[in-house]
Structure 1
Amino acid sequence: MALSFRFWRLNLLPKPSLSHLQTTLKALKPLKQKLSPICSLPMSSSSLNSLNSHLSVSKNPTFSEPHNPTACPQDDLVVLGIETSCDDTAAAVVRGNGEILSQVVSSQADLLAQYGGVAPKMAEEAHLQVIDQVVQEALDKAKLTERNLSAIAVTIGPGLGLCLRVGVRKARKIAGSFNLPIIGVHHMEAHALVARLNERELQFPFMALLISGGHNLLILARDLGQYIQLGTTIDDAIGEAYDKTAKWLGLDLRRSGGPAIEELAREGDAKSIKFSTPMKQHKDCNFSYAGLKTQVRLAIESKNINATIPISSANSEDRRTRADIAASFQRVAVLHLEERCERAIEWALKIEPSVKYLVVSGGVASNQYVRARLDQVVQRNSLRLVCPPPSLCTDNGVMVAWTGIENFRMGRFDPPPPADEPEDIVYDLRPRWPLGEEYVEGRSEARSMKTARIHPSLTSMIQASSQQQP
């Protein structure tokens, strides 16, 4: 009988050779023995077919139909989650019942302040320096060793490829050494699902707005692994706009731009500067912050603000001007979120009338102004706003471990990698990884960055010019 293995998410790019398949088959027997006290996987005469059904998925796993969950005691699962998608090195140990046994985060705040944002190579080096320590501290705080774990979950995308590789290499090394199954996690899916750890009433279907430094995403979560993308970022995300505005205003970036802008904005007049709301002419749910960033930069230049003078050294008039810009920027940036959410709720209720919740997660979801404004949106639409606690909004290992638990219960995991896996192996990292199918009504001309960033009259001129070319 021909054997065909298609692993869940953490596939290696080279096609498996015969020797690799033999190694995998050898790994499956101890895997079954290791998991049998936790999940009674069906290993009867049809065991091979059953196991294949657990490991086989569609080409894009986030769209696949979930498997029927295997009956297993939830409390017995213990998963280590590793997150290195961008600028924080994080690890956590979580039980199947949602108990957080440990959570460790090593921040790169000093690097962010030094470079004015994320420098991929520097971020990779910082991850490499602390990854072993962070993971070991997570295990120590949980008072466990690798032998007590049920599985390893690790972010494989989206994110910075150099950074993702650090976490994946560490996860596979542990999984191979201790014969542990491994779960590849979608970073944005983890931001959405972590809300289910704290809010046990949060059942599918629900909506999610995911807002961070690299992503804006509006999804309808119909079930685990079944997502409809209602809107996404076509250029810059809101977190990026916060960070750049904070930098141009001379604010302290060691806490990231969001908290710095929110704090200064409390001192300012939010209507003092008339910034235009992005994409008013586009009746979809997509996001664009590149134009607003340009408006802010021009306003700062017109006020002759010197960003080399930190806000702490600014005189009272200069500080008031900076506060007015911060408040005006924040009002319009969040108004863009509100408008998109209003339309997305309308679309989602047409698809799934039973939707009752809007989850708001990601680093920017820690912003209290953002939460307060979006709470008004959901109340107008008779929904309920669910936000994870601030410590679980920013990138963290808990969300990765919990998403690993949710997928593990559905049989979505890879068998242990070889213990002697080569150091130079090429991993299946996914720096760009869409979450869900795009909603047909959500497509628009603005999804083209070229069209979104160029004024319509200039677009016509460019098109006319190109047509005249021989």
Structure 2
Amino acid sequence: MAAEKKEQDVYILAIESSCDETAAAVVKNGREVLSNVISSQIALHTLFGGVVPEIASRKHIEKINQVIQEALDEAGMTLDEMTAVGVTYGPGLVGALLVGVSAAKAIAYAKKLPLIGVHHIEGHVSANFIENKDLKPPFLCLIVSGGHTHLVKMKDYGEFEIIGRTRDDAAGEAFDKVARAIGLGYPGGPKIDKAAKEGNPHAMEFPRAKIEGAPYDFSFSGLKSAVLNYLNHEKMRGEKVSQSDLAASFQNAVVESLVSRTVLAAREFGIRDVVIAGGVASNSALRAAMKEACEKEGFRFYHPSPALCTDNAAMIGAAAYYEYQKGTRSGWDLNAVPNLKLGER
């Protein structure tokens, strides 16, 4: 039976295809998820040790219509009952993004619905609204994923000020590269998180980069190089390296860098609400360390459940709802923008 549509209710059909997940969701009024369907390609890309863009695009084409229909069926609704269509249009893999954007444009055009292009990072931040009903801007958000490491102040819905960013590798990228180097494989984040639970985080001392004149910026390439150099050094000496100790020590260095800068920024900018988002936000050590640091400072700490940290369409639906309320509408010329910057339209 179709959900009853009241005049004031807004139903967003949301689509996400920026990397290796084909996802669709129906979100009511920005915070109530009626369906959230994800077709993951992780098993496929694991064979290659990382995401292969061409394969990702082809898989999106195969799955997109099926995933959208599943999202509608799960919500017990039809396209005619949707208020608007929201879709990720950047940043991400251009071929992958194009599949979602094309599907969204076709549906919006055919059904005469408003089309709303959503920034992928804005989606990650908005994932926090789904399970934290009392969360409202302004707040400070640490966004950590395979492609992004940003520290941003969300001033209002859809309004961001970037306070810090990575100068080189994203945190998730460093996790993937180190996991591959120590033989854990892909995806690196969950594999290192699991291995680290058995290891000593103080077994090896790795550097924490500080950038002069940019106290809120991050750098992980030096840390990654230090791990690789340590591995090579021990190998030349014929020493066996503890995989779990190395994973725990590396993770500890990353987490310490992320937490210290976030807390420093919150303190300096006088922000009491701290939020984390993105795939790496599901890391158990990061969540525990951030929670402890925020409690010590008297900050309120929010995070999405692990299922909403990875790429999904529910978060895009939440972001699209607030853009819709602001009057944001995209034209039929909406295109994939692989290097889209936060705050750009």
In the superposition, the TM-score normalised over structure 1's length comes to 0.68
What is the 5 A alignment of 1:140-179? Answer: 140-179=73-112
Q: Secondary structure at the match of 1:101?
A: strand
1:323-372 deviation per Cα after TM superposition (whole angstroms, max 9, x unaligned): 111111001011111221132113321xxxxx321110111111111011
> Shift of residue 252 of structure 1?
4.4
Which residue number in structure 1 is paired with residue 124 of structure 2?
191
Give the alignment partner of residue 330 of structure 1, picking from 241, 251, 254. Answer: 251
- In 2, distance between residues paired with 1:398 and 1:275? 37
1:81-116 deviation per Cα after TM superposition (whole angstroms, max 9, x unaligned): 101111111111111162211111111112331121
- In 1, distance between residues paired with 2:137 and 2:110? 36
> Quick check: which has more Rg, 1 or 2?
1
- In 2, distance between residues paired with 1:328 and 1:289? 14
- 2:28 corresponds to 1:102: no
What is the 5 A alignment of 1:255-294? Answer: 256-279=187-210, 281=212, 283-294=214-225
Q: Output the amino acid matched with 2:91.
A: P
8 Å contact kept, 2:175–2:192:
yes
- In 2, distance between residues paired with 1:234 and 1:117? 22
- 2:27 corresponds to 1:90: no
What is the 5 A alignment of 1:65-464? Answer: 73=8, 76-96=9-29, 98-253=31-186, 256-279=187-210, 281=212, 283-304=214-235, 321-349=242-270, 355-414=271-330, 417=332, 427-436=334-343
- In 1, distance between residues paired with 2:29 and 2:190? 33
- In 1, distance between residues paired with 2:159 and 2:31? 22
- In 1, distance between residues paired with 2:35 and 2:134? 24
Q: Secondary structure at the match of 1:100?
A: strand
8 Å contact kept, 1:165–1:427:
no
> Shift of residue 225 of structure 1?
2.7
- In 2, distance between residues paired with 1:392 and 1:381? 26
- In 1, distance between residues paired with 2:55 and 2:139? 38
- In 2, distance between residues paired with 1:393 and 1:323? 24
In the superposition, the TM-score normalised over structure 2's length comes to 0.92
Would the alpha carbon gap of residues 340 and 97 (structure 1) be closer, same or farther in structure 2, given more than 3 Å must change? closer
- In 1, distance between residues paired with 2:152 and 2:194? 29
Structure 2 unaligned blocks of 5 or more: none
> Shift of residue 403 of structure 1?
0.8
1:419-452 deviation per Cα after TM superposition (whole angstroms, max 9, x unaligned): xxxxxxx743222222249xxxxxxxxxxxxxxx
- In 2, distance between residues paired with 1:244 and 1:403? 31
- In 2, distance between residues paired with 1:199 and 1:144? 25
- Runs (4 or more) in structure 1 with deviation over 6 Å come to none
- In 2, distance between residues paired with 1:125 and 1:433? 22
8 Å contact kept, 1:220–1:348:
no
- In 2, distance between residues paired with 1:148 and 1:335? 47
Q: Secondary structure at the match of 2:242?
A: helix
1:178-235 deviation per Cα after TM superposition (whole angstroms, max 9, x unaligned): 1111100011111112212221211221111110000001111111232111001221
Q: Secondary structure at the match of 1:330?
A: helix
User: Which structure carries more strand by proportion?
Assistant: 2
- In 2, distance between residues paired with 1:206 and 1:195? 11
Q: Output the amino acid matched with 2:255.
A: V
Q: Output the amino acid matched with 1:221.
A: M
8 Å contact kept, 1:207–1:348:
no
> Shift of residue 238 of structure 1?
0.6
> Shift of residue 283 of structure 1?
4.5
8 Å contact kept, 1:79–1:153:
yes
Q: Output the amino acid matched with 1:357.
A: D
Q: Output the amino acid matched with 1:404.
A: A
1:293-334 deviation per Cα after TM superposition (whole angstroms, max 9, x unaligned): 1111122223339xxxxxxxxxxx95x611111111001011
8 Å contact kept, 1:156–1:429:
yes
Larger deviation: 369-378 or 109-118? 109-118
Q: Output the amino acid matched with 2:283.
A: N
Q: Output the amino acid matched with 1:92.
A: A
1:38-84 deviation per Cα after TM superposition (whole angstroms, max 9, x unaligned): 7xxxxxxxxxxxxxxxxxxxxxxxxxxxxxxxxx72xx211111011
- In 1, distance between residues paired with 2:264 and 2:157? 24
- In 1, distance between residues paired with 2:66 and 2:206? 46
Q: Output the amino acid matched with 1:367.
A: N
